[in-house]
Structures are given as C-alpha cells and as structure tokens.
Amino acid sequence: MIKTKSRLRGLMAAVFATAAIVVPITASPANAATEITFWSWRPEDKVFYEAEAAKFLAATGISVKFTPYVATDYNALLSTALTAGKGPDVMQMRAYGGMANLSDAGYFMPLTSKDIPALAKIPAGTLAGAQGYTSKLQYGLPYATSVLGVMYNPDLLKKAGVKALPTTWSSFFAAMDKVKAAGILPLGNGSGYAPGMEQLWGAVGPTFYGGNDFYKNIVAGKKTFEDKNFVASLQAVKDLVAYFPTGHAGLDYNTARGLFANEKAAFYIGGNYEISYFRSLNPALNVGWMPAPAAAAGTPRYVTNWADGGFAINAKTANKAAAIKFMNFLSSKAFMQDAADSLGWISTISGVKVTDPAVISMVRAIPSSGTPFLTLVGFRYGAPTSSSIMQPGFQKVAAGTQTAAELAAAIQAGVATWYAPLKPKA
C-alpha cells in the first residue's frame, strides 16, 4: 500500500516536472502557431484551396482551416454563425444583394486599400459587387468576374452544316433549325432549374431591352419592368423554349449541362463558370463562346458580366492581422493565376493570364460590349427580389401558364413594394 502511494507520488512529480518544462514552450504566445478559419460555399474547390493554404503556411507560418459548405446552405449557416458572434475569420461573400444585409449589419470588417493594396487596382464597377447597400463601404475583395453568353460545340455545328456563327436572333434560330434537322439537340438548357432560366435571360435579354441605357433608366425609375422592350426580352426566353430538349421541365442543372458536355446539344446558354464543369465531364470537349445574338441586324450585342463573389473578414475576428495577411495572399497575382488555371476564374486582378480559348473570347468582349446583370446587380437588395419572381415566373412562361407581359407586371409590382424609384407616382 505504502509502496503504491510512493509510486503514485513519483508519477505525479514526474508529470508536473514534464509539464513545467513543456508548457512554457508550447503555450508561449510568441511561439504559438496561428490558425485562421476560412469558410466557402465551394466544396468542389477543397483540393485547390488546401493546396493554396499549404503555400500560405510555408510563406507565413499561418495555417488556414478551409471549411466548405453546400452552396444552398451557406447563406443560412454563415448568417447564423455571424449573428451569434461566431463564424470564420475569413469567408467567401456573395456579391451585391446576396450578402449586403450582413455587410450593412456590420458583420464584415470594412476593408481599405491601406490594408489590402490590391483593392486600389480593381475597377469601381467591380468593387461595387462587394459593398454594403446602405453604407457603400468596401466589405469584400471581389475575386472573379462572371460572364454570360452562348457556348457552342464547333464540331456539332460543322456536322449540322452550320458554316457561320449566328449574329442575329433570326440567324440563331435558323442555325438551331439546321442542328435540329441533323438530329442533334439545338439547346442543352432546360426549365427545371429556375436560376438557370434567369441566367439564360441574363445572356439574351440585354439586346432586347437595350443594355446599359435601360439599366440606368430602370435603376433611376425612369423606366419600369413593364416597358415593352423588357417584355420583349422575357418573350425571347419563351421563344427559345421551343428548342429546349423534350421534357425540359424536369431537366435539372447538371443533367442540362451534361447534355452539352457530352456532345448531345450544340448550344448552351450560361456563364463562364459552366466550362470547368463541362471539362470535368468531358476533358476533350471543344467549346466555343459567342455573345448572345443581336435582336435584329444593326442592333448592339451585349456581354452580361458582374463581380461574382468576394472574400471578406469577420468584423469580430480575433486574428485580424493574420486574416489581413491571408486576404493579401488571396489578392496576389500568384493566387489569382492559380485560380484562373485551376478553376477558370476571370480574375479581378489585372495581369492574370487566361488560357481557355472560350474564356479569352469572353474577356476580350467585355470592354466593348459589357453590361451589368440587371436583376442580380440592381434588384436583389429587398424582398421580393426581381429574381425571386422571375425564376419561378420563367418556369410558368415555359410551361405556357403565364405570358411574358404577365411576368413583367408581376416583377414590377413586387419590386415596387420596396424599391422607391419604381413605386407608382401619386
């Protein structure tokens, strides 16, 4: 018994002695390894971000814990965490109205070019994608531009006998008729995925409503969503439905994209972000890109683009210095080049080279034909957003249970409830 007690005492003494030596080494703040947390809505980019985090760790000694969540749950999870006073140190933020509510409520740290010098080199229009709605402070670093347009398969067009790329709406339809006659699906798009319908409209709509001029006028309240040109832009989507695959109402997003990626459909109307998915299914796919055809010969063609997503810092982070360091890493040319190469980003930082021929065509077209994504950039700051009415509305238009004019009237009535310039004049 006595022997056991003395052994225990010896053991305790040894433990304390070891702790006395080890604890000061590991717990010393000066030597403690800093770890920052980083949240994203892109689980598919985990390998990429972890490789970048390893580079950041090697350069700074700061480790980054990357935690992605399913995109559809991300807003709810992040807002719940931030409002509870928690959340990650650094995070992906959705553009424009997607998270302006969190920016305006002070959950993101305002950024300046003093802390993040790269901000000074990003165009003002792009910076607007990561600002608050009421405060207009810069809360995020916009990292990529998204572009909408028409992707085509040159091999299938050749097979169908389409010799020249269509430049007008009528020649586009003639080309699709030829493709259909050759037994090939003209368009891979479907109406089952409602946001995809809005993106399709975002690509083809501006040539009908008049691009930038209409955007400025409707934002200023000088035009409404019931304008006949805007209605024509909605009708253009309805006209395209005739070229959708049979059973398009049940076509989900990935199946629709799969039809183009697997060379069953000759055209797919969407964004540059589809290309990496196409290539993941079919690395040998030959993808071409063109701006949406003009409504009529002589009318301008537009390339819809917007700052799609940013990086932000938690206003309550305990690792402010490390988070800023990481933001500067994320805004570096080296990181952006890696993202362009691996994820197909059109970087907001100048000097980043694009290698994909289709993406090169997009980047070249933006300066002369660029126009904002009207519903995303302008009208996602209040409920109901124009998108929340437009997306299910397009499904009704595609099914023939609502007309383009009725949809336009519904958007106007809904947005006018919160957007003062569009409220009916007394």
Partner 1 sequence: MAKSAMKRDQQKFTLLLLLPALLTIIIFTSLPALTTLSYSFFHWTGFQRGSFAGIENFRRLFAFPFRDSLFMAMRHNTLVFIGILIIQTSLGILIAYALYRLKRGQRFFRTVIFLPVIFSLVIVGYMWQAMLDPFYGPINYLLHKVGWDSLALTWLGSTATALPTLVFINLWRWVGFPAIIFLAGLNAINSEYLEAAKIDGASESQIFRKIMFPLLAPSMTIVTVLTFIGAFEWFDLPYVLGGSSGSPAGATDTLALMFYRLSFGSVDSGANEIGIGAALGVLIFTVVGIGAGFGSKYLRSREVQM
Angle between helices 46-60 and 333-343 (to 10 degrees): 160
Using CB under 8 A as the binding criterion, the count of chain residues that bind partner 1 stands at: 57
The reply on whether position 175 binds partner 1 by CB under 8 A is no
- In the list 37, 233, 348, 387, the residue contacting partner 1 (rule: CB under 8 A) is 387
- In the list 353, 417, 421, 423, the residue contacting partner 1 (rule: CB under 8 A) is 417
The reply on whether position 355 binds partner 1 by CB under 8 A is no
The reply on whether position 396 binds partner 1 by CB under 8 A is yes
The reply on whether position 68 binds partner 1 by CB under 8 A is no
C-alpha distance from residue 340 to each of 42, 143, 188, 285 (Å): 15, 11, 26, 19
Judged by beta carbon, residue 103 or residue 233, the one nearer partner 1 is 103
Judged by beta carbon, residue 71 or residue 182, the one nearer partner 1 is 71
Judged by beta carbon, residue 48 or residue 133, the one nearer partner 1 is 133
Distance between CA atoms of residues 204 and 85, nearest Å: 43
In angstroms, give the least distance from the CB of 100 to partner 1: 7
- In the list 391, 404, 408, 422, the residue contacting partner 1 (rule: CB under 8 A) is 391
In angstroms, give the least distance from the CB of 247 to partner 1: 4
The reply on whether position 384 binds partner 1 by CB under 8 A is yes
Distance between CA atoms of residues 206 and 224, nearest Å: 15
The reply on whether position 75 binds partner 1 by CB under 8 A is yes
The reply on whether position 191 binds partner 1 by CB under 8 A is yes
In angstroms, give the least distance from the CB of 235 to partner 1: 18
- Pick out residues in 256-275 that bind partner 1 (CB under 8 A): 259
The reply on whether position 192 binds partner 1 by CB under 8 A is yes
- Pick out residues in 17-56 that bind partner 1 (CB under 8 A): 41
Judged by beta carbon, residue 105 or residue 366, the one nearer partner 1 is 105
- In the list 178, 392, 403, 406, the residue contacting partner 1 (rule: CB under 8 A) is 392
Angle between helices 253-261 and 194-204 (to 10 degrees): 50
- Pick out residues in 125-154 that bind partner 1 (CB under 8 A): 133-134
Nearest to 357 by CA among 151, 146, 148: 151
Contacts 24+ apart (CB under 8 A), 348-352: 348/122, 348/123, 348/126, 348/142, 348/143, 348/144, 348/145, 348/307, 349/118, 349/121, 349/122, 350/121
- In the list 45, 89, 198, 274, the residue contacting partner 1 (rule: CB under 8 A) is 198
- In the list 395, 403, 405, 409, the residue contacting partner 1 (rule: CB under 8 A) is 395
The reply on whether position 189 binds partner 1 by CB under 8 A is no
Judged by beta carbon, residue 239 or residue 252, the one nearer partner 1 is 252
Judged by beta carbon, residue 37 or residue 391, the one nearer partner 1 is 391
- In the list 43, 61, 123, 250, the residue contacting partner 1 (rule: CB under 8 A) is 250
The reply on whether position 282 binds partner 1 by CB under 8 A is no
- In the list 382, 405, 406, 409, the residue contacting partner 1 (rule: CB under 8 A) is 382
Going by their DSSP bridges, the two strands 35-40 and 90-93 should be labelled as: parallel
The reply on whether position 96 binds partner 1 by CB under 8 A is yes
Q: Which residues bind partner 1 (CB under 8 A)?
A: 41, 71-72, 74-76, 79, 82-83, 94, 96-98, 100-102, 104-105, 107, 133-134, 190-195, 198, 245, 247-252, 255, 259, 376, 380-385, 387-389, 391-393, 395-396, 399, 401, 413-414, 417
